[in-house]
Chains A and B, each alone.
Chain A
Amino acid sequence: MIIYKQDNMLTEAEMQAIDHEISQLPHKKAGVIEALKIIQRHRRWVSDESVEAIAAYLEISPAEVDSVATFYNLIFRKPVGRHVILLCDSISCYVMGYDKLYGALQQQVGIRFGETSPDGRFTLLPNACLGCCDHAPALMIDEDLFRDVKVEMLDVLLSGYK
């Protein structure tokens, strides 16, 4: 289900999106983070081939691109599933028992933090504070935020993501 190799050439759409970002910056190199975000939006994660493609396009070394890519939490340098579950493990969610949600997710999806389900449907990751501590525990699935999450809700919640 998971494809491990990506094209080492940027597509027309990717280049256009990157050009648009660069046009607002004093120099090309400053567009690395935006370029990584664009590639991830198109390819879901950022492979070695993609790192090389970005480096060539921005005329910097692949190592430079990789140093930025690996620095940020939400740039995925490994394949992820169709949906990424980000479970908040910071302090307010700790106090309000995020570990129960983690336990239930492990059972229901069969994966631990950092793993992807064999059918490629979900990747589960811990995430630092999501900034809705008054509604802890919280999690995000892709771009959707869920607050005051209870174990009983997980079934219905996950069923929305095929």
Chain B
Amino acid sequence: MERPLTEYIQPGRPPLDLKGYEMTGGYAAVRKVLRGMSPAEVQQQVRDSNLKGRGGAGFNTGMKWSFVPMGRDAPGPKYLIANADEMEPGTFKDRLLMEGNPHQLIEGMILSAYAIQASVSYIFLRWAYRQAAQLLRKSMEEAYAAGYLGRNILGSGYNLDMHLHTGVGRYMCGEETALLNALEGKRATPRAKPPFPQVSGLFGKPTIVNNVETLCCIPHIVNKGAAWFKGLSYSEDSGGTKIYGASGKVKRPGAWELPMGVTLRQLLEEHAGGMKDGFTLKGVLPGGASTDFLTIDHLDVKMDYTSVAAAGSRLGTGTMVVMDDATCPVGFVHNLQHFFAQESCGWCTPCREGLPWVEKILLSIERGEGREEDMQLLHMHTRLLGPGNTFCALAPGAMEPLQSALKYFGEDFQRHIKNKKCPY
């Protein structure tokens, strides 16, 4: 089984430096592209590979790039941005990739920037990832010194600068248009679309924002081809491998690179080692805090975009949070809503006013002060804060674990209200 993204990552050991990375075939894709592939060819290859965005939305990456204006008359400078603001609770896959093989990300960014003919690139990194910041800074310096970044890269005439921006903490920065505002030094509130960032993004110029894991796939696609990448996957709906992860009371929490489309059961039982002794599985958020619960009835669901959606949830970031039978579902969901209420940027009313209300209702139920009509209020909010009523996806995302908790664990909510205390 091939693991292209993590083959050279050894947790606990320092990552490959430039020399080591080159010895494993690193930067060969940059040489290949700059010596004989047009930007259009790179775009086409990525499109053919069926790589879909690993940040959660799951849009075809090559297609996303194809909306960038190209040619001599295209406005510039164009920007390529790595979204490394990993802040979805329960998600830790991009940290692994950046700490484990920083040059892989840089190479992926150079290739992607070339494909859209961007001349400036940014890594928008979470403030908390101090080690990743250090490693990326050092690797960028090495790449500049070796001529992979800067002016006239490898004598090709192509120029690309790369900057590392560390954020100051806000979940909203992960939303691509809010990220652009943050990079411009503003509050990270989302922008209206259209215009889409591909046409008018950072400082009003054409911009692509891609997730770290997405970008790390690019060198491998360029080296080994679209058909090979497609073949890595067990699923029709997306090519490649996926970094899956699990946290919570499982025996071996962690992250693993596996073919896209392994089942939830394989992940939980084979890779996470099953539940810790004395605990049984009650529910799973399959792709981070803003995805609907799956339950023990969904263990044979394939973890790809289409199958998880058919089961009523989203693949999201592919890193799952496991809820055991000793954890109170009301407390669990309250914790999530506390996060979302706190991180709401306040730009649109349903989210700003609705989420704190939801949080308060859940807290009162958890404390045994809930009333029968609170259940109706919660149901109502899952509709009012759902898709179509808010400016961005934050509130609808927040409603996903709530609506599915009401559906699957409604009895737990009722018991809190009836017995006037938390039964856990």
Chain A residues within CB distance 8 Å of chain B: 24-26, 29-34, 36-37, 67-68, 71-75, 89-92, 94-96, 127-136, 140, 143-145
Contacts and interface: CB of A to CB of B under 8 A. Distances in A.
Contact of A74 (B89, B169, B246): B169
Given A91-B90, A134-B92, 11 more contacts: A30-B184, A71-B345, A73-B170, A91-B332, A96-B248, A133-B321, A134-B254, A134-B255, A136-B247, A136-B253, A140-B128
11 contacts: A26-B203, A37-B166, A72-B168, A91-B285, A92-B321, A96-B247, A128-B171, A129-B89, A131-B126, A131-B129, A132-B95
Contacts of A133: 89-92, 245, 247, 253, 319, 321
A127 B184 CA distance: 24
Contacts of B385: none
B237 interface: no
Given A72-B169, A91-B90, A135 B332 contact: no
For the complex of A and B, 10 pairs with smallest distance between CB atoms: A133-B247, A73-B169, A134-B253, A72-B168, A90-B89, A74-B169, A92-B247, A129-B89, A30-B185, A32-B185
Contacts of B185: 25, 29-34, 68
Contact of A72 (B170, B248, B321): B170
Contact of A94 (B126, B171, B332): B332
Given A26-B203, A131-B129, A36 B253 contact: no
Interface stretch (B65-73, B336-344, B390-398): B336-344
Interface in B293-343: 319, 321-324, 327, 331-332, 335-336, 338-339, 342-343
A131 B288 CA distance: 11
A75 B168 contact: yes
A25 B167 CA distance: 16
A143 B133 CA distance: 12
Nearest to A31: B185
Given A24-B163, A71-B188, A132-B92, A90 B289 contact: yes
A20 B265 CA distance: 52
A32 B188 CA distance: 13
B90 A143 contact: no
Contact of A131 (B95, B323, B336): B95
Nearest to A72: B168
B366 interface: no
Nearest to B168: A72
Residue with the highest number of chain A CB atoms closer than 10 Å, among B248, B254, B323: B248
B359 interface: no
Interface string B337-369: 011001101000000000000000000000000
Contacts of A32: 185-186
Interface string B239-261: 00000011111000111000000
Contacts of B253: 133-136
A128 to B, nearest CB: 6
